[in-house]
Amino acid sequence: MNPAEFYGGIIRKKIPKNPKLAGNMIKAGLHLESFRCAHFPEKGMPKAYQYLNYMAVKVVADALENSETYVWTNIFAPAELLQTFGMTCVSMECLASYLSGFYLEDYFIDLAENQGIASTLCSYHKNFIGAASAGILPDPILGVTTSMICDGNINTFRYLNSQCGVPCFIIDIPHSWSPEAENYVVRQLKQLIPVLEEKSGKKYDEDALKETLKRENESKKHFFSALQKRLVHAYPNTMTLVLFLLLATHLNMGSQWVLDFFRMLDKEIGTYPSPKNEKRLMWIHLTPYTEPTLSKYLNYNPKYAIVCDDFNLDYTEMLDTEYPLHALAKKMICNIYNGDFSRKADACAAYAQKYNCDGVVEFCHWGCKQSCGGALLIKDKMRKIGKPMLILDGDALDRRNNHDGQIRTRFEAFLEVLENGQGAI
């Protein structure tokens, strides 16, 4: 039993009778992990990723300590606008992942199901609902979510509103872009602004939002430059770091620390040597960072590496800083995860070619209808461009729903295909 599992076991015993103490223990654990990341980073982790690892934990730990400034969101909420009011976005997917880091996901998932939540709901949602219902999480000042991608997302926020009394604001995102659709979302953002002013006690500052978008654009330039350098430089990572990158590309995009991280990443990659016989993978959807076989092959492995993924490249256009609300509206509408699924399939095929991927893996997460329903469409696109693709089924969060033997058999067979250069399958 590792230290996190042991500590999580202690927390588990405290939850029923003293949820506040359990919540404080979780916050203390996150602060301790933040300290470890800062002073005792993992061996072999590049400097830029050390900084990302540290900040990804610190930002969430600090947010939980300052409930008057933290907001529950999904990862597609307009984080840039919330930052302008001094608010920290903590997505339910992020918090659910961190609870899994304490080996508590099964406890909260079972708790949610015992309250009547369907077993077929996404395990991220069930974990989050269970934790919120148990009273271990400090109440945020607001919940903000969008109608994009996930059909369970809005219902989860509404449920939390009814059960925990957390006010929520839902942004309805049209299926496709048009001037009318963009204006429709802008009107909703303008309706959100007075809510944010009331909750934060601050007035909306458009110039501050413009500066945030400028930092976002510069961050993107460094990120794309780093991805290009990754074509000729080996740069080790892990499945966990792929997920942590979402805190930079989504929940904190536009902040100064994110810009510092991408500058560091862009500079550091160029100092690494050329890869030797490396098989480059594109990952689609979530990385199951606790899965033993995938961790063995993909974490700090010079032979196999995830070089890009769809979530961190879901919107690659620069933002118009002169019209910030319109820029944010367009960003949400034109996200590859919004609208017709062919948009996502086309984008994934383009990324697989652009970043010279030898193969593609899609992980169909338990309860996620869009990832399972569209997998064959993406595979057909990959077949047409000659990219081998593996579709894996499992659970990115609940360890009980993964069967390592089956995953190992299929993944190792896929690696053989890549080694033999057999082309699309």
Number of structural domains (the chain) is: 1
Residue 213 lies in a domain: yes
Q: What is the pLDDT along the chain (425 residues), one digit of tens a residue?
A: 799 999 999 999 999 999 999 999 999 999 999 999 999 999 999 999 999 999 999 999 999 999 889 999 999 999 999 999 999 999 999 999 999 999 999 999 999 999 999 999 999 999 999 999 999 999 999 999 999 888 788 999 999 999 889 999 999 999 999 999 999 999 999 999 999 999 999 999 999 999 999 999 999 999 999 999 999 999 999 999 999 999 999 999 999 999 999 999 999 999 999 999 999 999 999 999 999 999 999 999 999 999 999 999 999 999 999 999 999 999 999 999 999 999 999 999 999 999 999 999 999 998 787 777 889 999 999 999 999 999 999 999 999 998 899 999 999 999 999 998 766 56
Residue 257 lies in a domain: yes
Residue 313 lies in a domain: yes
Q: Which domain holds residue 337?
A: 3-420
pTM of the model: 0.96
Sign of torsion over alpha carbons 373, 280, 53, 199: negative
Residue 68 lies in a domain: yes
Residue 230 lies in a domain: yes
Residue 425 lies in a domain: no
pLDDT per position as a tens digit, 288-298: 999 999 999 99
Question: What distances in angstroms separate CA 287 from CA 55, 106, 350, one per listed residue?
Answer: 20, 18, 20
